Amino acid sequence: MFAMVNGLQIYGQQAIQAARYIGQGFMVTLDHMNRLPMTIQYPYEKLIPSERFRGRIHFEFDKCIACEVCVRVCPINLPVVDWELRESVRKKQLKNYSIDFAVCIFCGNCVEYCPTNCLSMTEEYELSTYDRHELNYDQIALGRLPISVVQDPTTQPVSSLNYLSKGVMEGHPDSRSVTNL
C-alpha cells in the first residue's frame, strides 16, 4: 500500500514538472507572437551595412607604389602584384594588381596596412557567381565603386533591426529559467 502511495506521489510531482515545462514553452511562444516579423524581403529590401563592414576591396591604381605590403600581411598571400623596376627613376612601376575573392577571407589586413591607402573596403557583399573564376578581379574590376545601398533606386534600405523587441536585441535575461526550476 505504501509503495502505491509513493508511486502516486512521484507521478504527481512529474506531472506538475511537465506542466511547468509546457507553461514555460507557452510563455516563449506568447513572447514571440508579440514581436514584429524579422523577415527582410531581400531583393527589394536590403540592410544598410555597418560603418566598419568588410565587403569587397576597392583599389586605386594611381596611388599604389607596388610595395607589396598587402601581400606580406595577407594570411594567405592573396593579392597578386606585378611590377617592373624603372631604371631611369629607380622606382617600381605597377603593371598589374589582382585579388581572387573566391579565396579571400575579408580580414582587412591589406587595407589596414597599406601605406598609401590605395585599398579600401566597400559595402558590396553580393559577390555570388556561377563560375568561381569570375571572382578573380583585376585592377579594372577592383577600381569600380559599387552602388551604395542607400543610393540604389531599385531597393528600399532598412537601417537596422531596431524595430525588434528589447528582449531580442539584448538577449533574454531569464534564459536559464527554462532548465532551472
| Burial (CB count within 10 angstroms: exposed 0-12, middle 13-18, buried 19+), residue 73 | middle
Give dist(CA 173, CA 121) in Å, integer. 36
Residue 93 DSSP SS3: strand
Contact between 122 and 56 (Cβ < 8 Å): yes
For residue 124 the three cell numbers come to: 558590396
Answer yes or no: is 118 a known binding residue: no
List strand residue ranges (DSSP E) for the chain, in order. 45-47, 57-59, 80-86, 91-100, 119-121, 136-137, 156-158
Residue 90, phi then psi, degrees to nearest 5: 55, 45
Contact between 26 and 81 (Cβ < 8 Å): no
Residue 34, phi then psi, degrees to nearest 5: -85, -5
Question: Residues comprising the binding site?
Answer: 64, 67, 70, 74, 104, 107, 110, 114
Binding residues for [4Fe-4S] cluster: 64, 67, 70, 74, 104, 107, 110, 114
